Amino acid sequence: MSSKPRIFIDGEHGTTGLQIRQRLDGRSDIEVLSIPEAERRNADFRKQMLNDADIAILCLPDDASREAVAMLAEAGNETTRIIDTSTAHRTADGWTFGFAELTRGQRDAIAKARHVSNPGCYSTGAIALLRPLVESQVMPPQYPVTINAVSGYTGGGKQLIAQMEDASREDHIASASYLYALGLAHKHVAEIITRSGLKRRPIFTPNVARYAQGMLVNVPLHLDLLNGSPELETVHEILTSHYSGQSVVEVVSRDECAKASRLDPEELRGTDRMRLYVLGTPGQGQVNLVASLDNLGKGASGAAVQNMEIMLAR
C-alpha cells in the first residue's frame, strides 16, 4: 500500500473537479485515486474509493455530497477526511469553513478538521471584505449591506458553459451579460451572513458575463453608517491589518487604489489569489470595496487545493 496521502476527487469530470485534477497532475507527493471510465456508474466502486482515500474532495451537487458523507458514515469510516465544494455543508454544524484567511486560528482549525466546506465563489469575495469590518466592530452587524458581483460563466457549471459557448444550441445565451437570482435568494447568501457576522440579510445581485473565468465582488458603504464614522484610510488599515502576512489574499496599496480608474474581472484569471481594493475619494463619506478573484481559483478549485495542503501539513 502506498505511503503517500491518497486523494480522491469525487466528481472529477465536472468543472471544479477537472480544475482540481489539473492542479494535482504530475505531483509525486500524493496518490490521486480515480474511477476508471467503465466504472463511473458503479456505486460500489465509488464507495470503495471514498473509503480508501485519506482526503476525499467532493465536487458534486448538494444531494450527492450528502450521499457521499452518508456512505462513509454507514461504513463506519472515521478516518477519511472530506473537503466539500458544494453548498451542502457551508453553514452546517461540525463542518469547518475552508477559508484559511477568515480570521485568526482558521488555518489551524482547517488543519485539524475532518470535515471542511469550501466557500462559494461570490461569498469568498463578500466575506473577505465584510468579516474584518464586522470583527473589528466598525461595521454594525445590522448594517444594510448591498453586494453586487460579476462572474465568468464557468461558475455556472457544464450546462451554462455549453449555453454560452455553443451558438447552435436553441438555449444559447446571446447577451453579453445578465442578472440573475432576482428573487434575492441566491444560495451563497446564507454563508455570507453566517461567516461574515452580519445579522441583517444583505441584498445580493449577481451578474454573469460572457467571459470564462474571473470575478469582481463589490460592496459599497456609507462611512457615516459605520461605527465611529471612519475615514476611507481607516477602512483600508483594518483590511490590511486583518490580512497581514497572508500570501493568497492581498490588500491593494492605497496608492494603487487611488490610481485605479477601472477594474478588470479577468485580472486574476488562472490564479488562486484574491486582491481586495478600497476605493473612493477621501472626505466624501463613501467607500467602494471590491474583491477580485478567479471564480474557479480562490473561488473554487484553488481554495480546495489550498485546504488540502493545509490538512496534509498537519
Known catalytic residues are 121
CB contact burial 76-101 (16+ within 10 A = b; e otherwise): eeeebbbbbbbbbbbeeeebbbbbbb
Check: CB of residue 278 under 8 Å from CB of residue 252: yes
Is the sign of the CA dihedral 232, 238, 243, 244 positive or negative?
positive
Which of 96, 30, 21, 70 lies closest to 307, judged by CA? 96
Cell 480570521 -> residue: 103
Amino acid at 20: I
Query: For residue 92, what is its C-alpha cell?
Result: 452546517
Q: Are strands 81-84 and 115-117 parallel, antiparallel or unpaired?
A: parallel
